Structure 1
Amino acid sequence: MAAATNAGALVESPSGEEATAKTAQKRYEGLLMVRNKAIKGKGAWYWTHLEPLLVHNNETGLPKAVKLRCSLCDAVFSASNPSRTASEHLKRGTCPNFNSSAAKPISSVFPASVVPPSPFLVQHNHRKRTTTSPSGSGSGSAYPVPSRFGSQQPHLMLSGGKEDLGALAMLEDSVKKLKSPKTSPGPALSKAQIDSAFEFLGDWVYESCASVSFTSLEHPKFRAFLAQVGLPAVLPREFIGARLDAKFEEAKVESEARIRDAMFFQIATDGWKWNGNGNGESYNYNQGLVNLSVNLPNGTSLYRRALFVTASAPSNYAEEVLWETITGICGNLVQQCVGIVADRFKAKALRNLENQNHWMVNLTCQYQGFNSLIKDLAKDLPLFTTVANNCLKLANFVNYRSQVRTSFHKYQLQEYGHTWLLRLPPPHRFEFVSVFAMMEDTLSSVRALQLVLLDEGFKMVAIEDQGAREIGDMIRDVGFWNELEAVHGLLKLVKDMAQEIEAERPLVGQCLPLWDELRTKVKDWCSKFHIAEGLVEKLVERRFKKNYHPAWAAAYILDPLYLVRDTSGKYLPPFKYLTPEQEKDVDRLITRLVARDEAHIALMELMKWRTEGLDPVYAQAVQMKERDPVTGKMRIVNPQSSRLVWETYLTEFKSLGKVAVRLIFLHATSCGFKCNWSLWRWVCAHGHSRTALNKVQKLIFIAAHSKLERRDFSNDQDKDAELFSLANGEDDVLNEVLVDTSSV
């Protein structure tokens, strides 16, 4: 880490002048790009009056800085924050030649719905209300009203202030209507067009799942929009009555038809937040919304139901809910449900259902498994505790000592162009998310923190404060930064893999390769930061064993996607990558999943599969990949081919094939539909209303059905946050064309 290894090197190197020139040139070009777009009407208004200047070094002739010049008064400013310069110099009246009302678009002075008054009304009111200053000119507080005939009308002051302009325009509209004949309206929409428009509107409202409020349909501006496009006003109750019922029935019928067509399915459930009480008899759930959906062999998922779980429940509650869901789908033919995947769930409940139904494979979610590993590392890795405590001391010192905070913000502004406080975890709650954010803030502020040590404000504090001197020694210590980078890197490594699991939704055969990939990355991390592998590997293995299921090994062996070509050219199952115990797990699982009289046949077929494998042409067809044009990653061309090969080509494996087609399609994650949390909170608060609960259940079903149909597993809040992070204004665009300003 350059910032850590150069902790003491605060003086710019001789080559820094060239780097400064390069940075200044890029910044200048970026400002020009933004200004050119703004002048074309695609940016902020103030760029018309601010011009970028490239300042050169008199001795070397190289660019050394970028400034902004006001074209109205020729004043020169720093280019670090153009919007702030505009606010302070132009809007606040510092510029003597800037007319705030003239510089703004006319729509900002007179809204589009307000028509400027006619000369008749202007002159009439002018005679009644105009006042003069002692010098004889119109009052400076009067509001200018533009003339339709191009001539400048006198300033107008109204008794109600600027708000009277709207009323004045309405009066003029009334005069116009009396003077002018009524214009014939445009062609009206047909009933079919209106019905179709409201059908699309209803779909949007339902599928947003309360992100769009039903009552917002009565908003005056929305009604004005409907009128503008020729649609009648709509009442919210129209969307929560017969229309909602019909939409729900349509989605439900389609969903149940797809389940009937499938030979078997898997139940996926997420939203369980188990809090064990340690007595082994019962356990608590955090109050929330639990989703239950159905995974089909063809790769599609269908929503089943939402369940509002109270804060406390007996240990067998989840088992009963899942079994009711299974029987509700397939009645007495419960063999159709070949497994369950659940998040944050008591493993004992899954094992109980599996033991009672030998054909089932019940898994814990891999996304939650990796998240739990992060918590293990945060809890049991001493290095994490040391680094977190040091960051906490540093953040508290910088945030809450006014002199130090002032210096810190000064250098943040100088180095990064904006200021921020170091995020802190909640008191007495050392949560990973907040601690990780604090570490990220500390790492991103390294240059500013180093410069604080040279500031007179900090030196004055350090003279009298032993704690300040200790903080200063910590910031100077390269070891602190190396340890911080190491801990942050390890947590980010696991966190990134968890996020990729959530996005990719791997199948059960991918579990062993995922954990092997993690082990490899952890070894590389230990080597990079010279950290003993023992403890970290121990924590990884402990979490692996808690999540491990024999189906991981069996699916890995039976999925043609993972066949390995040997020296003879055969494509054989990868038994050599399994441990001896995992090999036994494969045998045990296969014999459990078939009928008792077929067990020996299935094991014989497994031996044949082990020695003969799959025809090379079919194996290559299954493993064929192509590059995803969006992500750039290599993806399997036909993800369903692994299962289809067993059903259509490997027909001689009659018993083993039954197991293979059921194992191969099983999902290893329960990540599914993300509901709008405000909706279920309302239901929890008004749960006594059966009608309200029924309607909300239908709304959730419709929204989830639509999202799963589009394979959209994100939520609107996350998308909005990403949108705002990419569109924070023109000034943020500059950051994309700038290099690291720490060399300036």
Structure 2
Amino acid sequence: MASTSSTPSDPSISIHDDTAIRAVNKRYQGLVTVKTKAIKGKGAWYWAHLEPILMKNPDTHLPKAVKLKCCLCEAVFSASNPSRTATEHLKKGTCPNFVSVSRPNSAISPLPISSLPSPPSNNHRKRGSQMGTALKSLALVESNKYCDQVGYINSGFTPKGQDLVLSGGKEDLGALAMLEDSVKRLKSPKASPGPLLNKDQIDSALELLSDWFYEVCGSVSFSSLEHPTFRAFLNQVGLPCLSRRELSGARLDNRFYEAKSEVEARIRDAMFFQVACNGWKSNKCCSGEDNLVKFGVNLPNGTSVFHKAVMTGGGAVSSKYAEEIMWEAVTGICGSGSQRCVGIVSDKYMTEALRNLEIQYQWMVNISCQVQGFVSLIKDFSKELQLFRTVIENCLKLANFVNNASQVRSSFQKYRMQVLDYTGLLRVPWCRCDCVKDFAPVYAMLEDVLSCARVLQMVILDEACKLICAEDPVAREVSAMVQSEVFWNELEAVYSLMKLIRGMAQDIETERPLIGECLPLWQELKAKVKEWGARFNIAEGQVEKIVEKRFRKNYHPAWSAAFILDPSLFDEGHEWKIPPTFQVFDS
């Protein structure tokens, strides 16, 4: 294990470089401490195979970065996320020298099934006829090739390329008996046993099968385990059948306890963390179910782990009740050391509860979710900007008319297949209330209408649609709408603005910005909205007012302070980050 370099006292080194060197040394010492604890049995299992190393600048010989080295294959990885490195390199089999099951205190995994002899082939007639031909011309054989086919090891064959003539003596009886036995097995494969596996190999295979089943949960049903073909396959490779009870019982419990232990170890090793929660608003208008509030923990290295879920009953949750649940989650994570929790992030519905907790525990910085703020901005536009309401109502009228009028629907599907090479109806949102995240169904409807602009114009010019327009005023209104340039310009404007905001929200979820990056995010949004208004010739006043109103609802003084004080904004290589400003467990 590399030794730590002390901070240099060279006066030529700038204060910035000195701070970076101290940060690298601190990160290295932290990883060494974690590995030491893990070796003593107080940390994650993968530290037995990973070793922190200190990378130095070849010119100055000063520490510049911390890396993780695999002790098994000498591969080097980034040290920003040891758990992910262990999963990708060890658990998924990337490391060629890792042979133990990726769980602590487990035995060496047996050989894979593929390394065992293959079961007899089902192509009886072809192989049988080949073997019969071999019996007839047994006096002339290519020794090595035929030996591999029927299993002869020391049967008196000559080297490859030479002819073999059997003597007919006693020494040939063993070989003939083996050949006869092979022919019998090929003719009746049902009587031949499958490959025999020992207990360790069976347990390992079933463990891998259960891992796959859990990973694809939802796409593979329990009933598939009882399918006759699947059971026949398991029997053919020498495995017992896997029952529903086994997958949903002890195996699932063990997976839960392992995941829980790993999460608790990661939280325990963190110097500080941030609690994230969402789901406070009732979705009863759509699903009729009670609220499910999910709590997660954002760790300093940029990762997040799930903590728990709480049922709060139907209807609205009071601010005081939410405050109690939040603080119970904090104490449940860190016990009496509550100062390790540097803050709580939640959706906008619990702003008062966040403010009350921040007043009581002044070291905490409790802020609202940035993703939720951007999503809410789309809802603000739909409520306060007339352009949004007009476009959404017109598209709803158009989509319902095309989907419900049988003759128009047939024409639409015909022309859509001709133009776009696929058919189908226009997507219509089933709900437009606040519980629908980022108005995804409305966005899908606008996208469909915009992509089918040429198709819709062909439908309106179709003779069947002209006949309907002569009798139906709604058809005439839709026809005029489709042929209006104003309608398409307004639709493109609304779609572009929604796409802009949704794209920035998705970037926030992916990049996980720090608290100090909130101000630049909103400044970037304001600039892009201004460009959008100029492009579509839309007055800036009302749009800027809506954006500014949402910005002030989300603003927290810690944004400005972190923007000035956070060194990672000026040091790209800084790895130990302030927790992000949004929760990962957003429904």
TM-score normalised to structure 2 length: 0.62
Unpaired segments ≥5 residues, structure 2: 1-120, 126-183
Q: Deviations over 1:127-147 (max 9, x none)?
A: xxxxxxxxxxxxxxxxxxxxx
Q: Secondary structure at the match of 1:514?
A: helix
1:237 paired residue number: 245
Deviation at 1:365, TM superposition (A): 1.2
CA shift, 1:373, in A, is: 0.6
Give 1:413 shift. Answer: 2.8
Conserved in 1, the CA contact under 8 Å of 2:392 and 2:442? Answer: yes
Contact 1:269/1:290 (8 A) holds in 2:
yes
Residue aligning to 2:580: 667
- Structural mapping, 1:360-375, within 5 Å: 360-375=364-379
User: For 1:436 and 1:243, how far apart are their aligned partners in 2?
Assistant: 42
Q: Which residue of 2 aligns with 1:293?
A: 296
2:234 to 199, 207, 226: 226
Give the 3-state SS of the residue equivalent to 1:340 in structure 2.
strand
Pair 1:526–1:669, CA change in 2 (3 A): same
CA displacement 1:90-120 (0-9 Å, x = unmatched)? xxxxxxxxxxxxxxxxxxxxxx99999xxxx
Question: More deviation in 396-405 or 207-216?
Answer: 207-216
Residues 319 and 352, structure 2, Cα contact 8 Å, conserved in 1: no
1:486 is the counterpart of 2:493: yes
Tell me: higher relative CO, structure 1 or 2? Use CA pairs within 8 A at least 6 residues apart. 1
Cα displacement (A) at 1:249 = 3.2
1:339-374 C-alpha deviation (Å, 9 max, x unpaired)? 111235411111111111001111211111111111
3-state SS, counterpart of residue 671 of structure 1: coil
- Which residue identity is paired with 1:351? R
Cα distance change on mapping 1:345 and 1:206 into 2, 3 Å: farther
Structure 1 181/668 Cα, relative in aligned 2: closer, same or farther at 3 Å? closer
Partner amino acid, structure 1, of 2:227: H
User: What per-residue deviation string (whole Å, max 9, x for no partner) do you get for residues 323-354 of structure 1?
Assistant: 12221222211111111112354111111111
- CA deviation string 1:521-542 (max 9, x = no partner): 1011000001111111111111
Which one-letter code corresponds to 1:333 in the other structure? Answer: G
Aligned twin of 1:273: 281
| Aligned partner of 1:341 among 322, 341, 345 | 345
CA distance in 2, matches of 1:473, 1:520: 35
* Contact 1:270/1:671 (8 A) holds in 2: no
Question: Aligned pairs, how many?
Answer: 405
**Which residues of 2 match residues 493-512 of structure 1 at below 5 A?**
493-512=500-519
Cα deviation, residue 459, structure 1: 2.9
Structure 2 CA distance, aligned partners of 1:238 and 1:554? 54
**Residues 231-240 or 462-471, more deviating:** 462-471
Question: What pairs with 1:551-570 in structure 2 (closer than 5 Å)?
Answer: 551-563=558-570
**Separation in 1, partners of 2:515, 2:350:** 19
| Displacement after TM superposition at 1:550 (Å) | 1.4
AA partner of residue 670 (structure 1): Q
Q: Distance in 1 between matches of 2:292 and 2:122?
A: 45
1:140-289 alignment to 2 at 5 Å?
184-208=192-216, 212-214=220-222, 216-274=224-282, 287-289=290-292
Q: 1:466 to 1:346 in 2, by over 3 A?
A: same
- Against the structure 1 CA distance between its residues 236 and 464, is the aligned structure 2 distance closer, same or farther, given a 3 Å change threshold? closer
The 2-side partners of 1:437 and 1:198 are apart by 42
The answer to whether 1:449 aligns with 2:447 is no
Task: Give the deviation of 1:544 after TM superposition.
Answer: 0.9
Partner of 1:381: 385
Q: 2:429 aligns with which of 425, 443, 447?
A: 425
Query: Hey, what's the Cα distance between the residues in 2 that align with 1:504 and 1:178?
Result: 59
1:531 to 530, 534, 538: 538
Unaligned 5+ segments in structure 1 are 1-111, 117-175, 278-284, 564-621, 624-637, 644-663, 675-744
Match of 1:416 among 402, 405, 420: 420
2:311 matched residue in structure 1: 308
The CA distance in 1 between the partners of 2:201 and 2:207, in whole Å, is: 10
Which residue does 1:318 correspond to in 2? Answer: 322
Question: SS of 1:672's equivalent?
Answer: coil
Distance 1:331 1:416, change over 3 A: closer
In structure 2, the residue matched to 1:473 is: 480
**Structure 2 partner of 1:734:** none
Secondary structure of the 2:280 match is: coil
Q: Secondary structure at the match of 1:289?
A: strand
Identity %: 57
1:346 partner SS:
helix
CA distance in 2, matches of 1:223, 1:276: 42
| SS of residue in 2 equivalent to 1:395 | helix
Instruction: Determine helix, strand or coil for the equivalent of 2:203.
Output: helix
CA distance in 2, matches of 1:329, 1:512: 30
1:341, 1:427 → 2: CA distance? 27
Classify the secondary structure of the residue corresponding to 2:292. Answer: strand
